[in-house]
Structure 1
Amino acid sequence: MTNAVAEASFHEVLERLSEKSSRDFYNPYTKFSWPEAMAEGDWWMNPELLSVHGTGLVTDETSLKALARRETVNFFSLHVHGIRELMSEVARRIHTPRFAEYSGYLHHFIGEENAHMWFFAEFCNRYAGGVYPEPASPLATKEAHGAWGDLLVFARILIFEEIFDYFNARLGRDPLLPEILRELHAAHHHDESRHVAFGKKFVKHLFDLACAEDQERGHDGRAGAEEYIKAYMTYSVQSLYNPRAYREAGIVEPLTVRRTALRHPVREEFHHRVMARVDRFFVAGGIFTTPWGALDGAVR
């Protein structure tokens, strides 16, 4: 495919996604019927999606239900903090010369992510005492400029969305969960299907631009970008294992539980399933020379 044809195809995708965003628009502040309280015995997350599933570390149902509540808070809090940071990066770029032609769809993206950030925080504030504090990330402050910096921002967004969508797609139709949680997951999954479609096209587009700029300057930033993106994938998986969630669920030695769970073969297999689609995308697009899933002990 020539560059001109690829560019035309990309803009057609943007137009279709913008039209769909307009058609599917909803008011998040009136969409959901929030119950007065959540029943104590409810599962907030399917036990098969808990971070200790398959490890034998926690086995009694009372503790697992408590952990399901706290890991839901952690999951929603990760979205609130992560998307807030990444939206600020998108907002910084949206009307710059490099991004002006994409600004129409990016405004839809920011609006939809703002809605998601609000309703996930609202759930935590109503039923769980608020969102968890933002976790420290050694990767969040990395400075990268130009086309490679743009690529890293949108690669991180894509990774974030793929992880969340893996959970949302399953929990949004899970009869084990209360209705309000199914509705939140389903609404997020519906919007994220557009965001992932855009993200894959845009990340490949930015990668091609960055490689073209490197060729003109006699520079090659691919190795550094691959290293950073893989590190972000590892960090993102690790963030699902929050010792605060274990501690508040009444699990003893939460740090030991976290370390043991992360290293467990069942959990490593789960990590690879969660990341499989985005890992294949990075390899197929030439962004990775080897899969993230091929790393030995990738999430330890």
Structure 2
Amino acid sequence: MERTLTLVQHRTPESVARRLLQASAAHSFDPSVDVDWGAPRQEDAWYLQPERLSLYGTALWDRMDERQRVELSRREIGSHVGMSTWFELCTIRMFADYLESRDIRDPRTHYALTEIGDETRHLIMFGRLLAEMGAPVYGPPAHLRRLFSVFSPTFGDLTSFALILVLEEVLIRVQRETARDERVQPLIRRICRIHVTEEVRHVSFARAELHDAVRRTSRARLAYHRELTGFGAWMAMRSLLHRSVYDGLVPDPAAARREAARNPHYRETLLWSAEKLVGFLTEAGMITRAEHHWWRRAGLMR
């Protein structure tokens, strides 16, 4: 189907924004006081659930000892957090463009500003977490930074809010599970709980804004933004796990990267993390059959 015509907006974007402003006032966190940064680290605890790691279930995983597996979990959560810091900065830049043409009296404007405040606190929280873990600062490759700078001026509301959902929903699903897993370091679980609580509001806002943007756009413009969003999702997901996470941990990092890329367990994790995202974007008219190749290459669709 070229475009979904059955969507019904039971809530207007303005009413969604007002509700989220109330929720933000009641349930926002300050990482400087709401996280116990001095809590001792548990020696043998995981940093990410082993079942969600890129090498879980592979022959290489079977050859790794427990110390190496826990270290891989530290590096992989470090990669997720490092990329999340860049994603948050990109979100702030996209919101700045969104706000430029908005009425300062509008509750949607007020919530967008509130979300920028949330993202700023998240950046500080992630920075402190990386320091506490002693993890390298993994970040996006240079070509991804350049592509964002080139294409982001053309995003508009459609691609901006669709990519915000890509960057937030995939990680939220993993983090919600992490927050409940008592095998994981308490500090990681606390930060995941805070991040999920606030990001769920961000997802609600992005969904409402995306619905509104789709409703207002032409078919030709929508087709362009579908393609741009699919391309952006592919580029973002291929950068989520930094290529250097295996360096110094296994004898052949290049072989580890190849093994992770074809690991059916890890592929299922990516598909699981994107179930709700892909379903929503398809229903909203931002994914059609013509864009499936991008989402398959991103690992987010079968």
> TM-score when scaled to structure 1?
0.86
Distance 2:241 2:137 in 1: 16
Deviations 1:144-188 (A, max 9, x none): 556x52221221111111011011100111100121111000111
1:140 paired residue number: 148
Instruction: Report if aligned partners of 1:156, 1:229 keep a CA contact under 8 Å in 2.
Output: yes
Secondary structure of 1:244's aligned partner: coil
Q: For residue 297 of structure 1, report the CA deviation from its aligned partner.
A: 5.2
Q: Is the 8 A contact 2:102 2:109 kept in 1?
A: no
Task: Return the alpha-carbon distance in structure 2 between the equivalents of residues 9 and 241 of structure 1.
Answer: 37
**Cα distance change, pair 279–142 in 1 and its aligned pair in 2 (3 A):** farther
Change (3 A) 1:266 1:176: closer
RMSD after superposition: 2.7
Which residue among 12, 15, 20 is the counterpart of 1:17? 20
Q: Are the aligned partners of 1:93 and 1:99 in contact in 2 as well (CA < 8 Å)? A: no
How far apart in 2 are the matches of 1:203 and 1:54?
A: 38
Say whether residues 1:105 and 2:111 are aligned partners: yes
Q: Which consecutive unaligned segments of at least 5 residues does structure 1 have?
A: 215-219
Does 1:189 pair with 2:196? yes
Structure 1 moving runs of 4+ over 4 Å: 5-8, 291-297
The 1:35–1:281 alpha-carbon spacing in structure 2 relative to 1, beyond 3 Å, is same
Equivalent in the alignment of 1:270: 269
Q: Does the aligned pair in 2 maintain the 1:125–1:131 contact within 8 Å? A: no
State the partner residue of 2:287: 288
Give the 5 Å matches for 1:212-251: 220-248=220-248, 250-251=249-250
Q: TM-score, normalised by structure 2?
A: 0.85
2:164 aligned to which of 140, 157, 162: 157
- In the alignment, does 2:76 pair up with 1:71? yes
The aligned residue for residue 117 of structure 1 is 123
Residue correspondences, number? 288
Q: Partner letter of residue 278 of structure 1?
A: L
Task: Give the 3 Å change call, closer, same or farther, for CA 94–57 of structure 1 in structure 2.
Answer: same
User: 1:274: Cα distance to partner?
Assistant: 1.3
* Structure 2 gaps, min length 5: none
> What's the offset of the Cα at 1:120?
1.1
Cα pair distance change 1:182/1:98, threshold 3 Å: same
Q: Secondary structure at the match of 1:175?
A: coil
Deviation at 1:129, TM superposition (A): 4.7
Larger RCO: 1 or 2 (CA < 8 Å, sep 6+): 2
- Partner Cα separation in structure 2 for residue 27 and residue 297 of structure 1: 38
Q: Which moved more, 1:29-38 or 1:101-110?
A: 29-38
Distance in 2 separating the partners of 1:144 and 1:28: 30
- One-letter amino acid matched to 2:97: R
Deviation of the 1:205 alpha carbon: 1.3
For the residue of structure 2 that corresponds to 1:131, the secondary structure is coil
C-alpha contact 2:78 2:130 (8 A) present in aligned 1: yes
The AA in structure 1 aligned to 2:29 is: Y
What is the Cα deviation at residue 235 of structure 1? 2.6
Q: Once the 2 structures are TM-superposed, how far is the Cα of residue 128 of structure 1 from its aligned partner?
A: 1.2
2:47 corresponds to: 44
Contact 2:233 2:294 in 1 (8 A): no
Identify which range, 132-141 or 184-193, moves more after superposition.
132-141
Q: Secondary structure at the match of 2:48?
A: coil
Partner of 1:217: none
